[in-house]
C-alpha cells in the first residue's frame, strides 16, 4: 500500500530539477533516491518519472501523484499539528528564513532560546540575501525588513518598527562636505545595498516639516548585496549609505557614523513576519515563536538609547 512518506518523498522529487538535487533536499544519498523511486514505481506498476538523460520530467501519473499527494500530506501534517497543539507542547518542525544581518543579530539568539524552552522542537534557521530565493513552500516563517513586494498574498504580521537612516563616516563628511538637501547627493559617493529586489538606487526623501517628497536616482560608486560590507565601506569613509536603524544605531552612538539630512525621513522598513503556508499560519509553534520574537523586539534593542525620528505606531 502507498504510504504518506512515499508522497513526501515524491514531492521532493517533483520539486527538484534532478534526482541528485532531490537527494540533497531529502538529506539522503543519490542511490537511495534511485532505489526508492524504482521501488515506488514497481509497487504502483506505473512509471512516474521520465529520465531523459540529465533532465527529468514527471509522467502524467507522476503529476497526478504529486498533485493529489500534496493535499494528503497537508491533511496529515495538519492532523499532526492539531494533536501536538492539544498536548500544549510546542513540537515538530519549524523552518525560519531571515535576512543575513538581522537574522544573525536578532533572530538567531531568540531561536536558540526558544528551542531550549521546547525540547521536542526541531528548528531550522536559514539566512538568505533575498527572500525571493526561498520559495514559500520551503519555510514556515520568513522574517523580512520592509514591506514585502513579493508574495503579497501571504499572511503578514508586524513585529517591530524600523526606520531607514542616511549615514556617513565623519571623515568622509570632512572631506566631501555634508549634504544639506537630497539633491546634493548627486555630487556624493553613494553606496547601494542590493537587497530584496528593491529599486535600491532610487532614494525617497520626505521633508518632515514641509511634508513634501523628493526622489533621487543615485549613481552608486559602490554596491553590494551584503549589509555588513556596505556598512564597513561607509565606516571606512567610502561614501553615504541608507541603512536600517537596527544596524547603524550602535555606530551612530559610537560616532563611527553620523546621520545626515536628519530633517528628512526615508521610507520605513518595519520588521515583519510572513507565513509560508496556511498550515504555518495556524500552527501553534509558529504563533508561539512569533510571540516570543515580537516580545523580544517590543522595545527594539536599537531604540533603547537612540532618539528615533519615528515613534512606534
Partner DNA sequence: CTCTATCATTAAGTTTGCCTTAATAGAGAA
Partner DNA sequence: TTCTCTATTAAGGCAAACTTAATGATAGAG
Pick one of its own copies, DNA, none as the site partner of residue 60 (Cβ within 5 to 8 A by kind): its own copies
Tell me the C-alpha distance between 36 and 19, whole Å: 11
Q: How many CB atoms lie within 10 A of CB 31?
A: 10
Cα angle 99, 103, 106; round to 5: 145
At residue 57, the 3 state secondary structure works out as: strand
- In the complex, least distance from residue 25 CB atom to DNA, rounded to whole angstroms: 11
Figure out which of the listed residues 17, 39, 63, 120 binds its own copies, where binding follows CB under 8 A.
120
Q: Is 68 in the site for its own copies (CB under 8 A)?
A: yes
Among 7, 56, 91, 284, binds DNA (CB under 7 A): 56
Stretch that binds its own copies, among 66-74, 204-212, 250-258, 305-313 (CB under 8 A): 66-74
Grid cell 508574495 is found at 151
Strand, helix or coil for residue 274:
strand
Q: Applying CB under 7 A, what is the total number of residues that bind DNA?
A: 23
> For residues 160 and 297, is the Cβ–Cβ distance under 8 A?
yes
Q: Check residue 86 for interaction with DNA (CB under 7 A).
A: no
Instruction: Report the candidate in 146, 137, 109, 136 with the shortest Cα–Cα distance to residue 125.
Output: 109
Please report whether residue 1 would count as binding its own copies according to CB under 8 A: yes
- Between residues 91 and 98, which has the closer beta carbon with respect to DNA? 91
What Cα–Cα distance (Å) separates residue 276 from each residue in 95, 104, 221, 231, 302?
10, 21, 36, 30, 28
In the numeric block, which cell numbers belong to residue 293?
520574537
3-state secondary structure 261-292: CCCEECCCCCEEEEECCHHHHHCHHHHHHHHH
Please list every residue from 36 through 55 that binds its own copies, using CB under 8 A.
44-46
Query: What letter does residue 267 receive in the DSSP assignment?
Result: P
Output 56 or 143, the one with its CB closest to DNA.
56
Q: Which does 120 bind (CB under 5 to 8 A by kind): DNA, its own copies, none?
A: its own copies
Does residue number 29 form part of the binding site for DNA (CB under 7 A)?
yes
Report if residue 298 touches its own copies, rule: CB under 8 A.
no
Establish if 69 lies at the interface with its own copies (CB under 8 A): yes
Kindly state the smallest distance separating residue 17's Cβ from DNA, in Å.
Answer: 8
Residues in the chain: 313
Compute the distance between CA of residue 159 and CA of residue 80 in angstroms, rounded to an integer: 28
| Contact mark string toward its own copies, 71..90, x via CB under 8 A | xx--xxx-xx-xxx-xx-x-
Q: Which does 36 bind (CB under 5 to 8 A by kind): DNA, its own copies, none?
A: DNA
Q: Which of residues 251-310 bind DNA (CB under 7 A)?
A: none
- Binding residue for DNA (CB under 7 A) from 2, 10, 12, 35? 35
Cβ-proximal residues to 33 (8 Å cutoff; 6+ apart), any chain:
13, 19, 20, 22, 23, 26
Residue number with CB closer to its own copies (120 or 217)? 120
Binding residues for its own copies (CB under 8 A): 1-5, 7-8, 44-46, 60-61, 64-65, 68-69, 71-72, 75-77, 79-80, 82-84, 86-87, 89, 91, 120
Binding residues for DNA (CB under 7 A): 3, 9, 18-21, 27-39, 51, 53-54, 56
Amino acid at each position: 500500500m502507498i504510504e504518506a512518506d512515499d508522497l513526501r518523498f515524491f514531492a521532493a522529487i517533483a520539486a527538484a530539477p534532478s534526482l541528485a538535487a532531490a537527494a540533497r533536499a531529502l538529506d539522503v544519498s543519490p542511490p537511495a533516491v534511485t532505489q526508492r523511486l524504482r521501488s515506488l514505481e514497481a509497487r504502483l506498476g506505473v512509471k512516474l518519472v521520465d529520465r531523459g538523460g540529465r533532465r527529468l520530467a514527471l509522467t502524467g501519473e507522476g503529476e497526478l501523484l504529486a498533485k493529489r499527494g500534496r493535499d494528503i500530506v497537508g491533511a496529515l501534517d495538519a492532523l499532526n499539528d492539531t494533536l501536538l497543539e492539544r498536548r500544549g507542547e510546542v513540537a515538530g518542525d519549524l523552518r525560519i528564513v531571515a535576512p543575513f544581518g538581522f537574522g544573525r543579530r536578532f533572530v538567531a539568539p531568540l531561536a536558540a532560546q526558544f528551542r531550549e524552552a521546547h525540547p521536542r522542537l526541531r528548528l531550522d534557521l536559514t539566512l538568505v540575501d533575498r527572500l525571493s530565493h526561498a520559495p514559500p513552500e520551503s519555510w514556515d516563517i520568513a522574517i523580512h525588513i520592509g514591506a514585502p513586494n513579493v508574495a503579497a498574498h501571504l499572511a503578514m504580521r508586524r513585529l517591530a518598527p524600523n526606520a531607514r537612516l542616511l549615514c556617513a563616516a565623519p571623515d568622509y563628511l570632512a572631506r566631501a562636505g555634508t549634504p544639506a538637501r537630497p539633491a546634493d547627493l548627486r555630487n556624493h559617493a553613494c553606496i547601494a545595498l542590493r537587497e530584496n529586489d528593491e529599486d535600491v538606487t532610487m532614494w525617497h526623501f520626505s521633508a518632515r516639516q514641509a511634508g513634501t517628497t523628493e526622489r533621487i536616482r543615485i549613481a552608486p560608486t559602490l554596491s553590494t548585496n551584503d549589509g555588513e560590507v556596505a556598512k564597513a565601506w561607509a565606516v571606512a569613509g567610502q561614501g553615504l549609505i541608507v541603512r536600517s536603524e537596527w544596524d547603524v544605531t550602535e555606530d551612530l552612538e559610537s560616532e563611527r557614523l553620523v546621520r545626515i539630512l536628519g530633517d528628512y525621513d526615508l521610507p520605513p522598513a518595519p520588521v515583519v513576519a510572513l507565513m509560508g503556508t496556511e498550515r504555518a499560519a495556524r500552527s501553534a509553534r509558529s504563533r508561539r515563536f512569533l510571540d516570543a520574537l515580537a516580545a523580544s523586539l517590543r522595545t527594539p534593542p536599537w531604540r533603547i538609547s537612540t532618539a528615533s525620528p519615528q515613534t512606534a505606531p
